[in-house]
Each structure stands twice: as C-alpha cells, then as structure tokens.
Amino acid sequence: MELDEKRIQQIVERVVSRLNVRPADAGETRAPAVIREPAAGPSVKGFPRGSLGIFPTVDDAVRAAQSAFEEYRKCSLELRYKIVAAMREVTLRHVQMLSEYAVVETKLGRVEDKVRKNTLAARKTPGPEMLVPRAWTGDHGMTLVEWAPYGVIGAITPCTNPTETILGNGIGFVSGGNTAVFNVHPTAKAVSAFHVHLLNEAAIGAGAPHNLLTCVAEPTIPSAQQLMKHPGTRILVVTGGPAVVQVAMNSGKKVVAAGPGNPPVVVDETADIHRAATGIIAGASLDNNLICCDEKEVFAAAAIFDDLRRELKAGGAYELSESQMSRLTKHLIDPDGIHPNKDYVGKNVSVILDSIGVKVGDDVRLAFSVVEESHPLVRVEQLLPVIPLVKAKDGVDAIAMAYRAEQHLGHTSSIYSRNIDNMHNMARLMDTCIFVKNGPHYVGLGGEGESYNSFTIAHPTGEGLTCVIHFVRSRRCALQDSFRIV
Ligand code: NAD
C-alpha cells in the first residue's frame, strides 16, 4: 500500500492516541484555523514598514511559526538552499537602507560600519551545507546520524547588531529546518520587523511557506519572557546582556546564550607596533565599539608603550589627557560603576568628547587615554569608542592584567606579539571563545579573516560562534547486519 501524507497522518494519530502522548514537535498550542497578522508592523518616519511575519502577540507569532513548521518539514532540502540564497540576496540588496534604518532608529553606531557587518553576515553565515550526516559501517551493519529540526525556536535579539543577528540566526534556523519567533529589542523594533518582512518575502518568493520567521510587533521585556516560557518554543537562542541570559537560563528549556564580554588586547614587547595600532583602531572603533567582541581595553608592555601611543595617534586616534579622561569618565559610567551611560553607548567620538567641550570631527573614530589598571573603564563593558590604555611591566604582566579585566566571561581576547610562548600561554590562560593573534577582533568573526560569521557568540553555553549545527537535534538510525557494502 502506498504511504501518502494522509495515510501517514492517520497512523501517527493512531499511535499517539494509543500511547497517550503528543507528537515530538507539537507544543501545547496548535495552529488555529485563522492566524492574525497585522496590516503593518512598526516603522520609523521616512522608512518602510512590512507586514509579513509580524504578529500582534506572542501567541499569534508562535501559532504562525508552528503552522509554518508543519508545512516546512514537508519541504525538500533543495528548497532550504534556495530560501537561504534568497535571504542573503534580499539583505544585500537592501543593505544600505537597513543600515541607515538601524542607526536612525536605535541612534547607535555608524551606517558605513553596519553596511560592513550586514554584508559579512549575508555572505558568511553558513547554510544547510554545514549539516553533514555521519555514517558508521562494520561487521554489524550500518548506523546513520542525521540532523533534525527542533521546530519553533524562540529568539531574543539585541539593539547593537539588530539586523545582523536576525539574519545570522534566521539563516541558521531555517537551514536546520526550523521556524522561529523573534522578540527583538524594543529600541530596534521597526528595522527588525522590516527585515523579518523582507526575509519572509524573499523566502516565499523562493517557494517557502509563509511565516518561517515571525516577530512580535511591539516587543517588550514581558513579551520576551512570555516567549521564553511559551510551551510552543522548543529551544531559546538569546543574544544580549547578563539579565536576558540569566532569565533564559532559568526557563527550563535548552538555551543557546550569547552574553556580554569585556575583550582585552595585549601588546607585548615583540609586537609589530604599527600593525597593533592599526588593528586596535580598526577593531575598537567598528560600529562605535558596539559589538560584544570589539576591543574594550589595551595592556601594553613598558618597552613599547610610548611607541604604541605614538602609532595610535598617527593612525588617527585622539589621545585624551589625564584630566580630560577624568572628567569624561563621570559622563561615561553610571553611578553604579558597572554600567556604561546609555546616552553615550554607540555614539561617535565627536558626540562623546563634546560632553567635555572637546571638538573633533566625525572622521575621528577612536579616543584613548593612559590610565591605571584600576580605572573603571578597564572593567566596564563600555560599548563606545573610548578605550583605556594601561602600561604593564612586560608582556607577561600585560597578559595577567588582561586575564583580570576579562573577568572569566570567556568571550574574546587578543594579543599582538611575535613571541610564541606569550601567544600560546595567553590563549590557554584566557580560554575565550575567540582568541585573535595580530589582528582586530572582527577577524575572529570571519571579517577579513578565515571561517564563517556569526554575531551570536554563545560563550555562557559553550557553542562559540553559533550556526546551523547548534539549532538541530541528532537522530540515529541503525540497521543490523546489512549495508556494509565493501
Ligand atoms: P540587552 O540585554 O539590553 O537586550 C538584549 C535583548 O534582551 C533585548 O531584546 C531585550 O529586550 C531583552 N532583554 C533584556 N533584559 C531582559 C529581561 N530581563 N528579560 C527578558 N528579556 C530581556 O542588550 P543590548 O543592549 O541589546 O545589547 C548589548 C549587550 O548584549 C552587551 O552586553 C553585549 O555584550 C551583548 N551582546 C552579546 C553578543 C554575543 O554574541 N555574545 C552579541 C550581541 C550583544
């Protein structure tokens, strides 16, 4: 007898009713006959708004994503490749507009840098090709392991890389056969919703079901928490600061969590100082230091300290005097001493220095100041383009300072050196998800470096740079005594 879809469904229902359990991919709530979709999502004046995949409530978005998943699981692998190609293409086609939109809405970062980040995500986020099945054969037959989707993924995204994260997560999720609900950062809700709309439009054009990627039109912290607890989401992928990571870890679900960092840079006495200064300026200034892995503080050996200062200034960085830095620090750090002042996060150097009456042009991308190791900016994840520079006795002393500054977050660190022992020892000591030698930290994201890209670096849960292989489940199929064909 031919096993068509209807017959399979009847068998599944009969088995499920006998066992009195739900099918593995069914949540508490099943897709209703009618799924509400708002006519248009939020928008910022002067920018377009979309409607595809945007829902008024978490429940609506989850139901739509569940319904999409039921359709998507019937689709071919070939279609996944087409969908991912379309998602890349539509983002690249709109990259300038998405980048401008993000800067206007969030008031964070630089348009030209967001173009670079979005382009990187579009070009280097891995697709379904990463999912390689495994087979074992021997005297007792063959065992095959393949990769199955979870179903509906609940994703929380930040304001610092809003569209980059939606694209990177989105490609990873659908490459693994999943669908998703995004609860984006409220201050990036319009650009995020529009990107979700564009990605759905492109996916549908490639032959996908509607609502592979959904989002909540008016995201809030309560709606994020509702999504995390929702019985319809199988796994959470969370990108943000310590609070959201903590809440997700307490959800009782599988979590892929990408949290905060405080990445230090060491420049030892053997380093190529021009290369170090160029790399530090390029890395620490990228998108006004918004990326979690951007360089946040520098420790340099005494022997090359003055050379590095000179090279940083020659490279266009603005050096703040001790008294300027002392006045500026009061503006940059909240009275609690642990958080940066949100008014200055992600702002241009010109805006930040204006607060103490220093005028520079927008072409100045980075400011730095010589401080002691105890300076608050050494420990605070500032997310703005002013970095502390600390003098160490030598490379080994600088590595010890870097270790203390990173505070065991395990995120990102780097060294400029030609000393193999220093490079080796620092890599082992820091034990960070990303360790870069002789280059800016974005090299570790695949930018002007090798390997793939992700803007969700899951150090608390250990995945590192996330991709499709972290969004699938292992399924093993064993056949006894046959199919060893040699
Ligand atoms: P954020 O923590 O303010 O917000 C991130 C997301 O979490 C938002 O969608 C927000 O609405 C949600 N959220 C915040 N608190 C929550 C709570 N208590 N319950 C439920 N949801 C909550 O972070 P941000 O300002 O958007 O981004 C900057 C922070 O994120 C930095 O600390 C940065 O290091 C980190 N980050 C890490 C990575 C990484 O890959 N490791 C990537 C980007 C950002």
Q: Using CA atoms, how far apart are residues 452 and 350, in angstroms rounded to an integer?
A: 33
Query: pLDDT tens, 251-309?
Result: 999 999 999 999 999 999 999 999 999 999 999 999 999 999 999 999 999 999 999 99
Place of tokens 């009713």: 17
Model confidence band, residue 366 (pLDDT cutoffs 50, 70, 90): very high
Per-residue confidence at 5, pLDDT binned at 50, 70, 90? low
Residue position matching structure tokens 């070939």: 78
Q: Return the DSSP state at 340.
A: B
Burial (Cβ within 10 Å: 0-12, 13-18, ≥19) of residue 124: middle
C-alpha to C-alpha distance for 325 and 455, rounded to whole angstroms: 31
> Which of the 8 DSSP states describes residue 30?
P
Q: How far apart are the first and last CA of the chain?
A: 33
Is the predicted pLDDT of residue 338 greater than 60, yes or no?
A: yes
Q: Is 161 in the pocket of ligand 1 (CB under 6 A)?
A: yes
> Which has the minimum average pLDDT: 20-29, 270-279, 280-289, 330-339?
20-29
Residue 83 near ligand 1, beta carbon < 6 Å: no
Instruction: Report whether residue 392 contacts ligand 1, using a CB cutoff of 6 Å.
Output: no
Confidence at residue 115, expressed as pLDDT on a 0 to 100 scale: 98
- The sign of the dihedral angle between the CA atoms of 330, 334, 335, 336 is negative
Over pLDDT 70: what percentage of the chain? 93
Nearest CA to ligand 1 atom 30: 240
Whether 289 lines ligand 1, by a CB cut-off of 6 Å, is no
243 lines ligand 1 (CB under 6 A): yes
Position 13 confidence tier, pLDDT thresholds 50, 70, 90 = low
| Measured distance CA(53)–CA(433) in Å, rounded | 33
Does residue 19 register a pLDDT over 50?
no
**176 within ligand 1 shell (Cβ under 6 A):** no
Question: Ligand 1 in contact with 185 (CB < 6 A)?
Answer: yes
Q: Give the model's pLDDT for residue 40.
A: 85
What is the 270 CA–ligand 1 centroid distance (Å)? 37
Nearest CA to ligand 1 atom 26: 158
Mean local confidence (pLDDT), 99-117: 98
Contacts of 298 (CB under 8 A, 6+ apart): 264, 265, 266, 267, 280, 308, 368, 387, 388, 389, 390
Mean pLDDT calculated for residue range 31-52: 80
Tell me the pLDDT tens digit for each residue of 141-167.
Answer: 999 999 999 999 999 999 999 999 999
pLDDT at position 34 is: 61
Q: How far apart are CA 353 and CA 340, in angstroms?
A: 15
Would you state the pLDDT for residue 61? 98
Average confidence (pLDDT) over 193-201: 98
pLDDT given at position 23:
34
Where does residue 475 rank: exposed (0-12), middle (13-18), buried (19+ CB within 10 A)?
Answer: exposed
Q: Whats the size of the chain, residue-wise?
A: 486
Residue 195's φ and ψ, nearest 5 degrees, are -65, -40
Q: Kindly state if the Cβ of 434 falls inside 6 Å of ligand 1.
A: no
| Mean of pLDDT values over 222-247 | 97
Q: Which residue has the higher pLDDT, 249 or 38?
A: 249
Report whether residue 256 contacts ligand 1, using a CB cutoff of 6 Å: no
Q: Which of 156, 230, 293, 433 to mutate to test the pocket of ligand 1 (most atoms within 8 A of CB)?
A: 156
Q: Give pLDDT tens digits for 423-480.
A: 999 999 999 999 999 999 999 999 999 999 999 999 999 999 999 999 999 999 999 9
Interacting residues of 420 by C-beta distance below 8 A, sequence separation 6+:
none
**Residue of minimum CA distance from atom 11 in ligand 1:** 185
Mean pLDDT of 25-47: 66
Main-chain phi, psi angles of 157, to 5 degrees: -125, 155
Give the Cα separation of 292 and 465 in Å (integer).
Answer: 12
Mean pLDDT of the residues in the chain:
94
Q: What is residue 337's DSSP assignment?
A: S
Render pLDDT for 215-231 as a digit per residue (tens, 0 to 9): 999 999 999 999 999 99
Å from CA of 35 to ligand 1 middle: 29
pLDDT at residue 79, rounded to an integer: 98
* pLDDT higher than threshold 80 for residue 409: yes
Task: Please give the Cα distance from 126 to 171 (Å, whole number).
Answer: 8
Task: Tell me the C-alpha distance between 104 and 46, whole Å.
Answer: 10
pLDDT of residue 37: 79
Q: pLDDT category, 39, cuts 50, 70, 90?
A: confident
Instruction: Tell me, in angstroms, the distance from the centre of ligand 1 to residue 481's CA.
Output: 51
Give mean pLDDT, residues 314-338. 96
Question: Do residues 396 and 270 make contact, with C-beta atoms less than 8 angstroms apart?
Answer: no
Alpha-carbon distances of 142 from 52, 482, 484, rounded to whole Å? 44, 7, 6
Average pLDDT over residues 60-85: 98
pLDDT above 90 covers what percent of the chain? 91
Q: Among 105, 160, 183, which residue has the most ligand 1 atoms within 8 Å of its CB, making it the best to mutate? A: 160
Q: Which residue, among 132, 170, 155, 127, has the nearest Cα to 58 in the 3D structure?
A: 155
Q: Is 204 helix (H, G, I), strand (E, B) or coil?
A: helix
* Pairing relationship of beta strands 457-458 and 464-465 according to DSSP bridges: antiparallel
The distance between the two most distant Cα atoms of the chain, rounded to a whole number of Å, is 85
How far is the C-alpha of 373 from the C-alpha of 364, rounded, in Å? 25
Residue 2 pLDDT grade (very low, low, confident, very high; cuts 50, 70, 90): low
The answer, yes or no, to whether residue 140 has pLDDT greater than 80, is yes
Q: What pLDDT band is residue 22 in, cutting at 50, 70 and 90?
A: very low
Ligand 1 atom 8: residue of nearest CA: 185
